[in-house]
Amino acid sequence: MTAPLIGITSFEDRSRQPAPYVSLKNSYVRAVEAAGGIPVVLPVADKRQARLLIPRLDGILFSGGNDVAPWLFGQEPLPGMGSWDTLRDEWEIELCNRAWDARLPMLGICRGCQLMNVARGGTLIQDIAQSNPKAMLHNPTIPHDELCHHIEIEKGSMLSTLFGQGALLVNSLHHQAVGEPAEDFTVTARSQDGIVEALEAKDGRFALALQFHPEGLFLRYPAFLAPFKALVDAASRRAD
Ligand code: MN
């Protein structure tokens, strides 16, 4: 089995002056490596490069980060919206759509989950607390490896083959969420307040989007390496 090349999106940290840095939480890299993939960090680039880059990869991971610009899913900014970076958004939307057309295995985490949904035509909830005062707290200030709330995993989903169906305790580090799911996706997990916590492709390809952060949990709870192993497995089947 070929060790597959897994592209991981990153962002440009412009707070690092005078010279901005390419930035990515290292736990994404470590999780792909632990799952047997070769991690390749992808800097934000001119979106015309996506067409050239996608055929060189075996799989892609859309990482966490800033909010997605509201006009990219047809909305005006509402109170509670955080900061966004249009260059990153447009680059990743192009990557996602090129990867989709190439049937490249893809995993999205947190912002990456939301980005995949927007790229394929879905919408986001700009701020969970503002849109639903009865929603529970999805962004407590606790470490990334702390479990936070339950999700309910749909029977028969790909996610249920990774974690089992029914209740699963996950971490939670988000103030936005998927609103209207894109036509290509089906919701396969929600929290008790109805927030979408996982999407997967309706057509059975490997396209999995998670609102929680398995990369923050897998060192303490090894079961959370499963989504990375599934991505690497799908990518290496494609590479062979
Ligand atoms: Mn959550």
Q: How many helices, marked H, and strands, marked E, lie in the chain?
A: 7, 13
Q: How far is the CA of 129 from the centre of ligand 1 (A)?
A: 12
- What percent of the chain shows pLDDT beyond 90? 95
Per-residue pLDDT tens over the stretch 105-145: 999 999 999 999 999 999 999 999 999 989 999 999 999 99
Q: Which domains does the chain have, with CATH numbers?
A: 5-239 (3.40.50.880)
Torsion angle of alpha carbons 88, 89, 92, 93, nearest 10°? -160
Tell me how far apart the alpha carbons of residues 135 and 41 are, in angstroms, rounded to a whole number.
35
Q: How far is the CA of 174 from the centre of ligand 1 (A)?
A: 6
How high is the pLDDT of residue 53? Answer: 98
CA 197 to chain centre: 10
pTM over 0.95: yes
Q: How far is the CA of 221 from the centre of ligand 1 (A)?
A: 17
Write down the catalytic residue from 110, 113, 174, 200.
110
CB 61 within 8 A of CB 37: no
How high is the pLDDT of residue 44? Answer: 97
Active site residue 110: yes
Ranges of the chain with pLDDT below 70: none
Active site residue 94: no
Active site residue 96: no
Q: How far is the CA of 210 from the centre of ligand 1 (A)?
A: 10
